């Protein structure tokens, strides 16, 4: 019946733009609610206060019932605020606040080498005329079929030995057929998968284990039982989403328990759900570019019943020592892929110290010889930031760049003589291993002494006295947990956290006001043992939070 | 007649978005509220009720004998008006409508329009966009209006079908009633529900514009549809009011 009232739609569409213009013209902070036009920085009424609180803390406006409960109250009762802070809905604030700080977003295609272990729909091949949903991998297509093509859209055939039969195809490639498989990501259903990709053998004919990158790269291994070693577009997305959620959950744990807020920076465990458990058990070894390779947790501690389909079940599992804390977990290391990027985000988000050249700093002329200095800590024009950034980046020097792998000393000794030899001889080719992890391409005489050292050790170790400790090597050995300990001890973490929470809930303060306004909150935050809820409570019950700024 | 409805709608939005010429500090304070709704009174109460939270955030302000800051001191820090994020907007629309979000069906089943429009509206994905731009813009106003047009139609239609006890739009009066008392009751409820504006009985000033909008939209509507046309216009006006997204 209502539709009759709404006709004709054309009139609406003609007038709507005008309405929008009018609405936008009226949309100004000057026109905030609750106070006379000529009054600066006026307090908001209790209903607006409740709306602020509910939107900020719970991520939604109050319900009508919640508003009505305020009618006979002189103000928002403290126990209402307390209830918000103690409710599960407060997760909305904690989650969003920390997503904005930590940016935990990972391209699903980075979780595995896509060509090797990502099952693509046949529609990826634009020339394919068959069922667009049947699944294949690019690498097997290239190695076994002769091009980046899927199998034929027909049932597979097998020889007397059970091997997949490939037939010549008009375009010169070889094609197998498909089989139906119950995939791990959708139990109880069946999907069409090319027969070569669906192979479930544990080893190739040449003896390569099929749960290794070498085995899968041979082209003679499949994705294993229920396709467990490969990702689909769907499961890759689920794992990427789980890693994002993991960060928020790591923060939520100490916050919800009233513990020390900064525990999430050094936590010795991480929450995982079904998709993450599957990834750690069966797929992570195929994450080779970026280099992930190993789970950051003790995989044997993952409960057997935490299967892929349990997406909403989260279980804490112990992290390996090198990966303790949010700053050494997969979401952080994969989102920020260099030591400098990792340091930059942490210093900006948690220490309020972005790397910026001082005011008035001027770049030198490119002709200035000092611009040829290879050490960025000293190179004029770069040193304004890098003199501080390089020692900061050293905290993450124990992790590979473009990846999340921890460089354990047994596999990756700081110095490799073979890599040094190839780096300094034009007649010895460097292996992929050397080129990936060790410094092999000195481009300046001052860099030559670092040939054969792990890349993270360049400019940090004294090649003439390798046993001598340096500040940056101490950072590298301690890992990001060392940075956290240092920033906790000197109060930088607490000060910046208070400032970030204030800016989130109230707004930025001018430099000259920051200290006197925030110092009491910092003191209280320290006194309460970094109780995050207490900090938020203090801010939202402050005069400033209840006062609307009118520019 | 439709243009009159829209014009009234926009006029209403303009008025409600503006600051009140003589707005009391707390129009909704009950008579017994001690000391009105002044900032100090409220904050002091809250702080004293949470003993481990009490923090003087007006530090640095020289105090006069009556406890107020001197006129030469730096002003007390104040909160900046901000716009809801896309997430807050999505969740708030559901709260307002009793669970009806903004969905559209383009042939493959209903999709959440905030998912579709999130990137255009500046919602961060933390890969390419790391900070949500919360500045008001013509695009936000346009989308807010689009959302209001769609959601209001669904909300009113759904509410009309519900049992009276389950209604979220018409729970103070019959949906078909155009009786002024019924209209005022529903307007009061909607202003509180949608915009958080409490209009106690006897304070009709804030209802005037919405009454006018209701009457303008219902006048000329097909017989039997008057109330629905009026409520649709009111709903769109409120959900596309800048005050809905600002807080």
Q: Quick one: average pLDDT of A369-382?
A: 94
Q: Which residue has the tokens 């290391």?
A: A333
Under an 8 A CB cutoff, do B19 and A52 touch? no
CA dihedral A348, A351, A355, A358 (to 10 degrees): 130
For residues A324-331, average pLDDT: 98
Q: Which is more confidently placed, B4 or B90?
A: B90
Distance from C-alpha of A424 to C-alpha of A413, rounded to nearest angstrom: 19
Q: DSSP H helical segments within A131-222, as ranges?
A: 138-140, 213-217
Bridge-based pairing of strands A118-121 and A231-232 is parallel
Across the strands, what pairs with A319?
A297
Inspect the interface and report whether the beta carbons of A544 and B141 lie closer than 8 Å: no
| Nearest-neighbour CA in chain B from A89: distance (Å) | 12
Task: Answer yes or no: do B77 and A513 touch at CB < 8 A.
Answer: yes
A499: nearest Cα among A486, A508, A490:
A508
Q: What would the DSSP string read from start to end of A347-363?
A: HHHTSS----PPTT--P
| ipTM score assigned to the predicted complex | 0.86
- Which whole-number Å values give the CA distances from A190 to A178, A185, A187, A510, B142, in the listed order? 12, 10, 8, 61, 44
Across the interface, whether the CB atoms of A5 and B225 are under 8 A apart is answered yes
Q: Is the pLDDT of residue B145 over 50?
A: yes
Residues of B in contact with A549 (CB under 8 A): 78-81
| pLDDT of B243 over the 70 cut | yes
d(CA B153, CA B172): 19
A9 CB contacts (<8 Å, ≥6 apart)? none
pLDDT band at A15 (very low <50, low <70, confident <90, very high): very low
* Contact: B55, A524; criterion CB under 8 Å: yes
- For residue B240, the chain A residue with the least C-alpha distance is A23
Total beta-carbon pairs less than 8 A apart between chain A and chain B: 305
Q: How far is A340 from chain B (nearest CA, A)?
A: 17
A103 to chain B, closest Cα gap in Å: 5
pLDDT digits (tens, 9 = 90+) for A83-120: 999 999 999 999 999 999 999 999 999 999 999 999 99
Determine, for residues A47 and B29 on separate chains, whether the beta-carbon distance falls below 8 Å. no
Q: Which has more confidence, B1 or A108?
A: A108
Query: Which residues share a beta bridge with A178?
Result: A155, A194
Chain A closest CA to B99's CA: distance in Å? 11
Angle formed at CA A242 by CA A59 and CA A297, multiple of 5 degrees: 130
SS3 A430: coil
* Helix-helix angle B208-218:B180-190, to 10 degrees: 120
> Which pLDDT score is estimated for A29?
39
Q: What residues in A contact B28, CB-CB < 8 Å?
A: 45-47, 70-71
pLDDT at A549: 85
Q: CA–CA separation, A525 vs A488, rounded Å?
A: 12
- Name the token pair of B42: 């409220």
Query: Which residues in chain B touch residue A538, judged by CB atoms under 8 angstroms apart?
Result: 53-55, 57
- To the nearest whole Å, the CA of A99 is away from the closest chain B CA by 8
Whether residue A442 is predicted with pLDDT greater than 80 in this model: the reply is yes
SS3 A435: helix
For the cut 90, the answer to whether the pLDDT of residue B244 exceeds it is: yes
Question: Which range, of A55-59, A308-312, A506-510, B34-38, averages the lowest pLDDT?
Answer: B34-38
- Tell me the per-residue pLDDT of B150-209, one tens digit each, with 9 for 90 and over: 999 999 999 988 888 889 999 877 888 899 999 999 999 999 999 999 999 888 888 999
Contacts of A489 (CB under 8 A, 6+ apart): none
pLDDT at B2 exceeding the cut of 50? no
Residues A117 and A109: their CA atoms lie apart, in Å, by 10
Count of alpha carbons within 13 Å of A130, Cβ hemisphere only?
A: 20
For residues A456-474, average pLDDT? 93
Nearest-by-CA chain A residue for B13? A23
Residue A335, SS3?
helix
Coil, helix or strand at residue A318: strand
Q: Pick from A137, A146, A140: which is nearest to A114 by CA?
A: A137
Partners of A231 in beta bridges: A118
How many residues does this entry show for chain A? Answer: 551
B247–A48 C-beta distance less than 8 A: yes
The residue of chain B nearest to residue A82, with distances taken between CA atoms, is: B50
CB B17 to CB A27 under 8 A?
A: yes
DSSP A266-277: T-SEEEE-HHHH
pLDDT, average across residues B116-121? 93
Check if the beta carbon of residue A218 is closer than 8 Å to that of residue A206.
Answer: yes
Contacts of B161 (CB under 8 A, 6+ apart): none
- Angle between helix axes B226-239 and B138-161 (nearest 10 degrees) is 140
What interhelical angle do A233-257 and A532-540 show, nearest 10?
Answer: 80
pLDDT, position B176: 87
- Helix, strand, coil percent values for chain B (each to nearest 5): 50, 5, 45
Measuring CA to CA, which residue among A544, A38, A76, A57 is closest to residue B196? A76
CA A3 to chain centre: 46
Phi, psi of B79 (to 5 degrees): -80, 140
For residue B135, what pLDDT is reported? 86
**How far is A8 from chain B, CA to nearest CA, in Å?**
9
Which DSSP helix (H) or strand (E) runs through A43? strand A42-43
Interhelix angle for A532-540 vs A492-505, to 10°? 40
Q: How far is A218 from chain B (nearest CA, A)?
A: 33
Q: For residue A544, which of B135, B84, B40, B23 has the smallest C-alpha distance? A: B40
CB A7 within 8 A of CB B226: no
CA B236, CA B244: separation in Å to the nearest integer?
11
Helix (H) or strand (E) holding A191: strand A191-194
Distance (Å, rounded) from C-alpha A158 to C-alpha B125?
46
Chain A residues lying within 8 Å of B39, measured CB to CB:
43, 543, 546-547
State the alpha helices, DSSP H only, in A288-382. Answer: 330-335, 339-349
Q: Find the closest chain B residue to A6 by CA distance.
A: B229
Q: Where are the alpha helices (DSSP H) in A9-168?
A: 9-25, 46-53, 64-68, 78-86, 91-102, 114-117, 138-140
Instruction: Kindly list the distances between the CA atom of residue A253 and the CA atoms of A43, A241, A256, A271, A321, in Å, as whole numbers in the listed order.
Output: 34, 18, 5, 10, 19
Q: A23 and B240: CB-CB below 8 Å?
A: yes
Pair type for strands A231-232 and A269-272: unpaired
Contact call for A26 and B17, based on CB within 8 A: yes
CB contact under 8 A, B221 and A5: yes
Closest residue in A to B60 (Cα) is: A516
- Percent of residues, chain A, with pLDDT higher than 90: 88
With CB atoms and an 8 Å threshold, state whether B76 touches A35: no
DSSP B75: P
Taking an 8 Å cut-off on Cβ atoms, the answer to whether B57 and A520 are in contact is: yes
CB-nearest to B127 from A52, A70, A105 is A105
Contact B42 A49 (CB under 8 A): yes
Residue A340: other Cβ atoms inside 10 A: 19
User: Cβ atoms within 10 A of the Cβ of B57, count?
Assistant: 24
Q: Which residues of A touch B45 (CB under 8 A)?
A: 74-75, 78
Query: How far is A497 from A500, CA to CA, in rounded Å?
Result: 5
pLDDT of residue A62: 98
Nearest CB to A549; choose among B23, B50, B78: B78
Q: Do A547 and B28 touch (CB under 8 A)?
A: no
Q: Which residues of B touch A543 (CB under 8 A)?
A: 39-40, 43, 57-58, 76
Task: Report how far apart, in Å, the C-alpha atoms of A418 and of each of A107, A398, A447 are.
Answer: 35, 21, 17
Q: What is the pLDDT of residues A230-259, one digit of tens each?
A: 999 999 999 999 999 999 999 999 999 999
CB A287 within 8 A of CB A312: no
Q: How far apart (Å, rounded) are the C-alpha atoms in residues A43 and A118?
A: 56
| Count of CB atoms situated within 10 Å of the CB of A428 | 13
Distance from CA of B20 to the nearest CA of A (A): 5
Distance, in angstroms, between A341 CA and closest chain B CA? 14
Q: In angstroms, rounded to a whole number, what is the distance separating the alpha carbons of residues A383 and A366?
A: 15
Rg (CA), chain A: 29
How many Å apart are CA B157 and CA B166, to the nearest integer?
Answer: 13
The answer to whether the Cβ–Cβ distance between B246 and A32 falls below 8 Å is yes
Per the listing, tokens 């112990």 go with: A318
Low-confidence winner among A192-206, A285-299, A389-403, B64-78 (lowest mean pLDDT):
B64-78
């Amino acid at each position: 019946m209502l539709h009759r009232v709404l006709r004709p739609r054309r009139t609406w569409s003609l007038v709507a733009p005008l309405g929008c213009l009018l609405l936008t013209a009226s949309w100004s902070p000057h026109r905030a609610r609750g106070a006379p036009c000529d009054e600066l920085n006026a307090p908001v009424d209790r209903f607006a206060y409740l709306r602020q609180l509910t939107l900020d803390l719970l991520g939604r406006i109050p319900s009508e019932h919640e508003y009505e409960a305020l009618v006979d109250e002189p103000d928002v009762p403290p126990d209402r605020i307390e209830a918000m802070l103690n409710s599960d809905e407060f997760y909305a604030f904690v989650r969003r606040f920390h997503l904005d700080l930590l940016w935990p977003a990972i391209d699903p295609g980075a979780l595995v080498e896509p060509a090797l272990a990502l099952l693509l729909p046949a529609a990826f091949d634009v020339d394919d005329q068959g069922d667009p949903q049947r699944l294949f991998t690019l690498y097997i297509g290239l190695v076994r079929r002769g091009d980046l093509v899927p199998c034929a859209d027909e049932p597979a055939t097998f020889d007397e030995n059970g091997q997949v039969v490939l037939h010549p195809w008009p375009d010169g490639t070889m094609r197998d057929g498909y089989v139906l498989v119950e995939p791990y990501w959708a139990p109880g259903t069946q999907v069409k998968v090319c027969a070569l990709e669906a192979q479930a053998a544990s080893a190739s004919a040449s003896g390569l284990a099929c749960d290794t990158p070498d085995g899968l790269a041979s082209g003679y291994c499949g994705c294993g039982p229920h396709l467990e070693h490969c990702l689909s577009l769907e499961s890759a997305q689920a794992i990427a989403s789980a890693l994002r959620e993991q960060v928020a959950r790591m923060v939520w744990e100490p916050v919800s328990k009233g513990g020390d807020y900064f525990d999430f920076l050094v936590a010795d465990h991480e929450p995982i759900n079904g998709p993450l458990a599957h990834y750690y058990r069966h797929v992570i070894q195929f994450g080779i570019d970026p280099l992930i390779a190993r789970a950051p947790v003790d995989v044997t501690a993952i409960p057997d019943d935490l299967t892929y389909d349990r997406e909403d079940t989260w279980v804490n599992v112990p992290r390996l020592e090198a990966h303790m804390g949010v700053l050494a977990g997969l979401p952080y290391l994969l989102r920020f892929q260099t030591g400098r990027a990792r340091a930059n985000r942490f210093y900006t988000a948690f220490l309020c110290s972005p790397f910026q050249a001082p005011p008035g700093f001027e770049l030198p002329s490119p002709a200035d010889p000092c611009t040829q200095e290879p050490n960025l800590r000293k190179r004029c024009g770069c040193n304004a930031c890098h003199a501080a950034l390089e020692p900061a980046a050293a905290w993450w020097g124990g992790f590979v760049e473009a990846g999340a792998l921890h460089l354990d000393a047994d596999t990756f000794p700081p110095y490799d003589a073979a890599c040094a030899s190839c780096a300094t001889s034009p007649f010895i080719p460097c292996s992929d291993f050397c080129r990936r992890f060790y410094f092999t391409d000195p481009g300046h005489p001052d860099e030559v002494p670092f040939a054969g050292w792990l890349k993270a050790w360049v400019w940090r170790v004294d090649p003439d006295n390798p046993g001598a400790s340096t500040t940056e090597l101490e950072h590298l050995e301690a890992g990001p947990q060392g940075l956290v300990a240092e920033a906790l001890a000197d109060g930088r973490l607490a000060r910046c956290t208070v400032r970030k929470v204030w800016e989130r809930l109230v707004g930025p303060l001018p430099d000259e006001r920051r200290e006197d306004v925030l110092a009491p909150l910092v003191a209280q935050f320290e006194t309460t043992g970094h109780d995050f809820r207490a900090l938020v409570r203090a801010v939202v019950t402050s005069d400033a939070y209840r006062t609307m700024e009118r520019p | 007649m439709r243009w009159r409805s829209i014009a009234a709608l926009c006029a209403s939005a303009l008025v409600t978005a503006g600051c009140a010429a003589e707005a009391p500090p707390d129009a909704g304070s009950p008579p017994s509220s001690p000391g009105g709704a002044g900032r100090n009174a409220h904050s002091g109460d809250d702080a004293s009720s949470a003993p481990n939270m009490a923090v003087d955030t007006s530090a640095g302000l020289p105090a006069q004998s009556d406890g107020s800051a001197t006129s030469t001191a730096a002003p007390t820090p104040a909160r900046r008006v901000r716009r809801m994020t896309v997430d807050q907007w999505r969740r708030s629309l559901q709260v307002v409508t009793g669970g009806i979000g903004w969905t559209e069906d383009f042939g493959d089943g209903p999709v959440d329009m905030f998912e579709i429009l999130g990137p255009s509206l500046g919602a961060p994905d933390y890969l390419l966009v790391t900070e949500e731009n919360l500045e008001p813009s013509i695009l936000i106003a346009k989308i807010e209006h689009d959302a209001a047009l769609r959601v209001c139609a669904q909300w009113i239609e759904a509410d009309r079908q519900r049992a009276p006890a389950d209604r979220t739009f018409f729970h103070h009066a019959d949906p078909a009633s155009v009786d002024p008392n019924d209209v005022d009751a529903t307007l009061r409820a909607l202003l509180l529900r949608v915009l958080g504006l409490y209009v106690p009985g006897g304070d009709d000033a804030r209802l005037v514009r919405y009454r006018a909008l209701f009457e303008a939209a219902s006048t000329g509507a097909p017989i039997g549809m008057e109330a629905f046309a009026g409520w649709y216009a009111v709903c769109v006006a409120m959900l596309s009011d800048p005050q809905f997204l600002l807080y």
